[in-house]
Amino acid sequence: MKRQWHVWVIFFSSLIALLGGLSWITVVALDLDAAEQQAQARGQWEEDVRLALWRMDSYLTTMISAEASRPYFVYSSAYPPYRAYAHMFSEEARSKGGAEPLLMPSPLLLATPPHVKLHFQATPGGEFSSPQSPTQTVQNLVNGRIATPERWVTAHNQLEELRLDLNWDELQDFVPDIVSPTSGPLIAASGGPDPPQTGVSFQSDPGSPRQQRPTQTRLGANSTQLPANLPPQQFVGSNGRSRGNSAEQQAISQMEFYNRLQGSQNLFSENSDSMPISEDVRASVMSPAWFGDRLFLLRRVEANGDEYIQGVWLNWRSLRGTLLGLVADIFPNAQLSPVAALSSAGAEGSERMLAVLPARLLPGEIELPPLANWTPIRIALASAWLCMLLAAAAVAALLTGVLRLSERRAAFVSAVTHELRTPLTTFRMYSEMLSSGMVDGEERQNQYLDTLRLEADRLGHLVENVLSFARLERTRATDRSLAVEPGDIMAKIEPRLRDRAARSEMELEVVAPERSPERHVKAEAGAVEQILLNLVDNACKYASSARPGVVRVEQIATDAGWEIRVCDQGPGISKHESRTLFRPFTKSASEAAHSAPGVGLGLALSRRLAREMRGELRLDHAYSQGACFVLLLPWA
């Protein structure tokens, strides 16, 4: 075709447009996929941050709730137990003018909770005391019973440090106000009713004034009225023996006993930090606050008309290590930073704040995992690219095949036209000469008649090849071969082969094995005859000028089957020509005009016929004296 480039221009233009569109879609899809993977990774990271904060807040809530639920009087090293009974108010004790006090050691004196440096209490007068640093009077009472003198020294030094660095006015700005009293049971040191419910909160900016802080949940007071009419009680003296229900003892109600017990605290007011137990107590919520690098939990308490600030000095270093250990499996390089130490404690980063302490979790830089290679969208894109490339390759191959087939068919038509014109011209000319009597003599007339016969054979052979190939292309391949003896095939077709060689003034040499095999081959006699006739015809056309002019047909029995080799001593076939040797329609009219007659269909037809018989036809490249074709017929 003269304008094949039009087809290729359209094909490549369409291909470039398709590649451009698919490339744009691929880039956009990959960007979206990468963004989605990063968003998923960031979302998982945020979930891990929330999980870490939840773990820390759960631990801190338990610890702070325990501190907030402590009775106010445990901030004294020792205190009189509520509703305790002794013989200190008996007639005998009053007659002797003496009193035998009963004090309970504070649980904070016995043991310091984890992550706590010191419990302390401040008064408006600037006095600081701590249950872990008892006065000399209490030390004398408990000496030998509590083996913690070293702890007292440490607590005393810490208390002196607080006296120097803190004052009542500074603490006032960080302690919540008492909102309103709430009726409830008295908070007892031991054996009393359940502690009241507590609420814990803190403000984001510890340095803001009290009046600007939001309203916070408050711990209610503890106030109860003891029953006025109680049955007579049986008191136990110091000797452990029960005293009878005397008239005086029956006249003393429990409220009177409690009032006397409360009044007896005057016996220990000097050089003692014991706090009288009150029925009217109000307390605020326990609120955290930073003073420099020290973290405190503070609350305001009103008891007996007096106001106190009670606090817990937390060991931030120890507490921070424990909290970070809780999240080490999630964020091994995480840090906790006090809010007061940050440059900005506003809304930015507030999602990292702990709920119960003014501290922020710094989980570190987010480490995004590498992008997955084969996500669903990437698999879809790869499949689309593969299908598109395969489709493009298939279309290109189809176009190439169609164009080549069109060229070959055009060349075939041209060659057939040329091959038909030659014998038809000869027929017309010779027939006219013979009919008009222009050929004189019987010998010349016989020569003209022989020429006409040869041209007729040539034309018949051409038509037979074309019709056979068309039949093979049109019908489905079927194996019509039968089991025959090799010698019988050659005996039937040898005369025709010799006649064809003789017309080209060449000699046919048939070589058969000395001993014919006792096996049969699967073959169709007509197909074998047509194959060998085509091979001998080609040898006669292309090797007619060779000397000696011999066409050798050799039969060989092999393990694979019966081989028939047709060899000549002509110019041979080059490697370039051998590539298209068995393709149909490869000979153009110009090639036919400058070479031996034919349309280039005989070898293609011969191979198709050989393969229909489950055999093979090939060119022997090792043969160097001319051209040699090998026909292999399988054993039956």
What single string gives the DSSP state of each residue in 275-344?
Answer: ----SEEEE--BEEEEETTEEEEEEEEEETTEEEEEEEEE-HHHHHHHHHHHTTTT-TT-EEEEGGGSS-
181 pLDDT higher than 90: no
Q: Final residue of a domain: which of 279, 314, 349?
A: 314
243 pLDDT higher than 50: no
State the average pLDDT over residues 392-398: 92
Q: Is 307 helix (H, G, I), strand (E, B) or coil?
A: strand
* Domain assignment of residue 410, given as a range: 396-634
Question: CB–CB of 328/342 below 8 Å?
Answer: no
What's the angle, vertex CA 537, arms to CA 536 and CA 538, rounded to 5? Answer: 90
Q: Is 193 helix (H, G, I), strand (E, B) or coil?
A: coil
pLDDT at 90: 54
- Which CATH number do you get for residue 499? 3.30.565.10
Are 409 and 280 within one domain? no
Number of domains within the chain:
2
Q: Final residue of a domain: which of 314, 335, 364?
A: 314
Is the dihedral angle over the CA atoms 64, 66, 72, 75 positive or is it negative?
negative
Give domain status of residue 58, yes or no. Answer: no
217 pLDDT higher than 50: no
Give domain status of residue 374, yes or no. Answer: no
Radius of gyration of the chain from its Cα atoms, rounded to whole angstroms? 59
Of 18-27, 187-196, 326-335, the poorest mean pLDDT is in: 187-196
Sequence-distant (≥ 6) Cβ neighbours of residue 180 within 8 angstroms? 218, 220
Are 82 and 175 within one domain? yes
Give domain status of residue 53, yes or no. Answer: no
Give domain status of residue 55, yes or no. Answer: no
Is the dihedral angle over the CA atoms 539, 540, 541, 543 positive or is it negative?
positive
pLDDT at 262: 38
Are 438 and 297 within one domain? no
State the average pLDDT over residues 510-532: 85
Are 606 and 459 within one domain? yes
Give domain status of residue 5, yes or no. Answer: no
Residue 306 phi, psi (nearest 5): -100, 150
Q: Is 573 helix (H, G, I), strand (E, B) or coil?
A: coil
Are 139 and 248 within one domain? yes
Q: Final residue of a domain: which of 266, 290, 314?
A: 314
Are 414 and 298 within one domain? no
Burial of 401 per CB tally in 10 Å (0-12, 13-18, 19+): exposed
Higher pLDDT: 593 or 445? It is 445
Give domain status of residue 405, yes or no. Answer: yes
This prediction has a pTM of: 0.52
> CB count, 10 Å around CB of 269?
10
346 pLDDT higher than 70: no
Q: Average pLDDT of the chain?
A: 76
pLDDT digits (tens, 9 = 90+) for 131-173: 998 888 788 777 666 656 788 889 999 999 999 999 888 888 8
Using pLDDT thresholds of 50, 70 and 90, give the confidence band for residue 273: low
485 pLDDT higher than 90: no
Give domain status of residue 322, yes or no. Answer: no
Give domain status of residue 139, yes or no. Answer: yes
In terms of average pLDDT, the best of 14-18, 350-354, 490-494 is 14-18
